[in-house]
Structure 1
Amino acid sequence: MDLQVLTIMIVVGATTADPGDYQVYPSVPLPYQFNYAVHDDYKGTHFGQNEKSDGNAVHGSYNVALPDGRKQTVDYTADHYKGFVAKVSYDGVAKHPAKYGPPITFQQSGGGGYH
């Protein structure tokens, strides 16, 4: 019963709210620019992105170090006419181990929890 009363109160409150309570933002596209990079030698994590927009089109690039030793880069553009267009490229040569060993497994110690 309480849930029904609460639902009715929310619906009534939303329908009677004054539209002047909300701030309306103009629909004018705004230019922006950002970039970031992560370089963690301990974990082997290397990736980054940069992007900029003039308010009408977006241009950017992102890259990631792949497990096989190559670097993958995606250069892209996006707008309301052509949509999202990407060009993918790879730097380096893929390296794979000559031999594969047994899978790495972790044993759980007694008591059902990890120590």
Structure 2
Amino acid sequence: MFIKVVAMLALVAAVSAEHAHSSQHIHKHDGHATEVTFKDHHGHHHHDYYTHPKYHFKYEVKDPHTHDHKSQHEERDGDHVKGYYSLHEPDGHERHVHYHSDKHTGFHADVKHSTHHIVPHHHHH
């Protein structure tokens, strides 16, 4: 997931037009690794290492030329993930999504839409 986010942010930054605004922040917390021992289906013992997953990131794109406006914020601490994103859609709607997830209750999202009137700009030559 973390690698996908970094790749997406690089793509967003690469395609941003002149006068567009793009920002991103990623912070990964590297904790101490804990050894985990488990048996496979043949009864063989295996050793691996587990680090408590913890991160937060946010990004924002505001491009007045293409009207591409979006932002996202997400944080994770162990099995708990929560976040928010907003997106201006081409038809003038704005979508706001607050979500959270954990291993006990699964994924939940609260989606809201709002409408903004689009005023066309006429260029005179």
Q: What's the counterpart of residue 58 of structure 1? A: 81
Say how many residue pairs are matched: 73
Give the direction of change, closer, same or farther, for the CA distance of 1:25–1:68 in structure 2 (3 Å limit): farther
CA RMSD of aligned residues (A): 2.2
Return the alpha-carbon distance in structure 1 between the equivalents of residues 48 and 72 of structure 2. Answer: 28
Q: Provide structure 2 residue ranges, at least 5 long, that are not aligned to the other structure.
A: 1-46, 119-125
Deviation at 1:81, TM superposition (A): 1.2
With normalisation by structure 2, the TM-score equals: 0.51
Among residues 98, 119, 123, which one is paired with 1:75 in the alignment? Answer: 98
User: Normalized per residue, which structure has more helix?
Assistant: 1
What displacement does 1:54 show?
A: 1.6
Larger radius of gyration: 1
Q: Larger % of strand: which?
A: 2
**Residue of structure 2 aligned with 1:41, choices 41, 59, 64:** 64
- 1:1-115 alignment runs, 5 A limit: 26-93=49-116
Residue of structure 1 in register with 2:33 after alignment: none
Relative to the length of structure 1, the TM-score reads: 0.55
